[in-house]
Amino acid sequence: MPVAIKVENLSKAYRLGVIGTGTLGNDLKRWYARTRGKEDPFLKIGETNDRTTKGTGDVVWSLRDINFEIEQGDAVGIIGKNGAGKSTLLKILSRVTGPTTGKITGNGRVASLLEVGTGFHPELTGKDNIYLNGTILGMRKKEIKRKFDEIVDFAGVERYIDTPVKRYSSGMYVRLAFAVAAYLESEILIVDEVLAVGDAEFQKKCLGKMNEVSKSEGRTILFVSHNMAAIKTLCRYSIVLEYGKLKYKGSAANAVSAYLKGDAESMNCKFFGETHNNEIFKLEEISLNATGKTADTVLDEYHGIEINIKIHIKNQPERIHVTFVLNNEHGEPIFTFSHVSAQVFLKKGFNHLKCLLPEGFLNVGSYYLSFYIIKDSKETLFVEKDIIAFDVQEGQRKIGGWMGREPGIIKPIFKWQTLTT
């Protein structure tokens, strides 16, 4: 198959530092703050691509020495945590920004859906924006007209097609933007995480359309998502980015495993130091081990699982709670659990929370915990996906013979009785 995109030694650096405020008055306010030893009121840029640590340099490498090839007609997933460089890579491939070093060779027109509103003029109607985007892609008016009805029908915005898009909701915006990108005649379709704005039915519809244009029309797709099930369903091949570097490239299933697994041998105990210390809380440690044992990454299916959280609450403990989401090896959520449901509450000062999953609860497999700190049951103060990774292995049955891995996610041990009359 011919190569649609070839990336060679690609790197992207951003230089941090003082950025002009745009007005003389604000520049004077900045100068006055500095003369008084105060923080610059207009400094809003962080220092490092690793968002959990504070950097010391003035250059951030969002991407470093990236190399890969994508064949025409391939659907390729790009996965990685926040700050890994995924969006930067897509912007470079879409020609929104240029690389610092390296070379990109592309074969075909590119249609991009990078973020809500990209490529749309807010003052123009939905209809006008369809024609505008088609013209940018180099299509003739009659070619766009031929696709127009399909675009409007897919987006489900016929009633508002003559309304300026600045009045659209974010969901309507994304529906129309995706329909334009999918139906207009580009050889390469680039889709960022923006599909998360849509509802579940629309996301499923989009995945079906991307699958169709890849397999039936031979168009190349680059798809960024945190939905691992979607990546494995749509993509044959995936790449994993970590702190701007290419960590893995290969089959989608192996890439998802590499991303979710991470450094699983050390992820079962995570220390935070001063990285998450603010006026509300200080998160110290999250750890997991078999009940009554030192930390184990691999657990027996008949072991209980002990989860420990060590956290300082500095004020209003009654308004703060922590929550876990347990995900399976495909990145799909299994269930959510919190100390609040057990009527256990945080207190001001140091808290050591312990949660016990009973023996025989989880089936054999790989699991990943995501962690949230919530305020007032609605404001997320902290979130880290896949903060703990662990495996549950086959165990020795107490009674009876070995049956192998049985269907289902959980494997509870219920109480049984034999009743005689």
3-state secondary structure 377-401: CCEEEEEEEEEEEEEEECCCCCCCC
- Specify the number of domains making up the chain: 2
pLDDT tens, 247-265? 889 888 888 777 766 544 4
Q: Which long-range contacts (CB under 8 A, 24 or more apart) does 378-382 make?
A: 381/280, 381/281, 381/320, 382/276, 382/281, 382/283
Mean pLDDT rounded to a whole number for the chain: 80
CA 124/CA 129 separation, integer angstroms? 6
Q: How far is CA 153 from CA 63, 158, 185, 206, in A?
A: 39, 7, 17, 13
In terms of residue numbers, what domain contains 273?
264-393
Question: Do 180 and 130 form a contact (C-beta atoms < 8 A)?
Answer: yes
Query: Domain check: are 90 and 27 in the same one?
Result: yes
Model confidence at 47: pLDDT above 50: no
CA 216/CA 150 separation, integer angstroms? 17
Specify whether the backbone of 22 is left (phi greater than 0), alpha (psi in -120 to 50) or beta.
Answer: left
Residue 10 β-bridge partners: 66
Of 204, 235, 261, which residue is a domain's last? Answer: 261
DSSP H helices, 236-313, are 252-261, 264-267
Q: Does a structural domain hold residue 216?
A: yes
pLDDT tens, 353-377? 999 988 878 887 778 888 999 988 8
If one compares 306 and 52, the residue with the highest pLDDT of the two is 306
Model confidence at 56: pLDDT above 60: no
Element (H, E) at 71: strand 59-71
Query: Domain check: are 230 and 312 in the same one?
Result: no
Model confidence at 292: pLDDT above 50: yes
Query: Domain check: are 285 and 255 in the same one?
Result: no
Q: Does a structural domain hold residue 407?
A: no
Query: Domain check: are 269 and 233 in the same one?
Result: no
Query: Domain check: are 279 and 313 in the same one?
Result: yes
- pLDDT value, residue 44: 47
Q: Does a structural domain hold residue 348?
A: yes
Q: Does a structural domain hold residue 403?
A: no
The mean pLDDT of 266-277, rounded to a whole number, is 73
Question: Do 153 and 183 form a contact (C-beta atoms < 8 A)?
Answer: no
Query: Domain check: are 253 and 289 in the same one?
Result: no
Model confidence at 57: pLDDT above 50: yes
Query: Domain check: are 203 and 336 in the same one?
Result: no
pLDDT tens, 115-148? 655 678 889 999 998 998 888 777 888 888 998 9
**Could you tell me the pTM of the whole model?**
0.59
Q: Which of 242-246, 294-298, 300-304 is predicted with the least confidence, judged by mean pLDDT? A: 294-298
- pLDDT value, residue 127: 92
- pLDDT value, residue 8: 92
Of 228, 261, 294, which residue is a domain's last? Answer: 261
Q: Which of 2-6, 239-243, 409-413 is predicted with the least confidence, judged by mean pLDDT? A: 409-413
Query: Domain check: are 322 and 180 in the same one?
Result: no
Query: Domain check: are 232 and 279 in the same one?
Result: no
Percent of the chain with pLDDT over 90: 16
Cα–Cα–Cα angle for 375, 312, 342, rounded to 5 degrees: 60
Q: Report the DSSP pairing between strands 379-393 and 298-300.
A: parallel
Query: Domain check: are 59 and 37 in the same one?
Result: yes
Specify whether the backbone of 343 is left (phi greater than 0), alpha (psi in -120 to 50) or beta.
Answer: left
Q: Does a structural domain hold residue 418?
A: no
Model confidence at 288: pLDDT above 60: yes
- pLDDT value, residue 214: 84
Structure tokens at 285: 């440690």
CA 34/CA 45 separation, integer angstroms? 17
**Is the C-alpha dihedral spanning 390, 396, 400, 405 positive or negative?**
positive
Q: Looking at residue 360, which CATH number applies to its domain?
A: 2.70.50.60
If one compares 166 and 275, the residue with the highest pLDDT of the two is 166
Q: Looking at residue 119, which CATH number applies to its domain?
A: 3.40.50.300
- pLDDT value, residue 51: 47
Q: Does a structural domain hold residue 406?
A: no
Q: Does a structural domain hold residue 405?
A: no
Q: Assign 266 a pLDDT band (cuts: 50, 70, 90).
A: very low
Question: Do 311 and 282 form a contact (C-beta atoms < 8 A)?
Answer: yes
- pLDDT value, residue 117: 58
Of 261, 281, 314, which residue is a domain's last? Answer: 261
Query: Domain check: are 316 and 348 in the same one?
Result: yes
Model confidence at 407: pLDDT above 80: no
Query: Domain check: are 202 and 96 in the same one?
Result: yes
The mean pLDDT of 49-61, rounded to a whole number, is 57
Q: Does a structural domain hold residue 198?
A: yes
Cα–Cα–Cα angle for 234, 83, 310, rounded to 5 degrees: 105
Instruction: Give per-residue burial for 45-77: e unless 16+ CB within 10 Å, then b.
Output: eeebbeeeeeeeeeebbbbbebebebebbbbbb
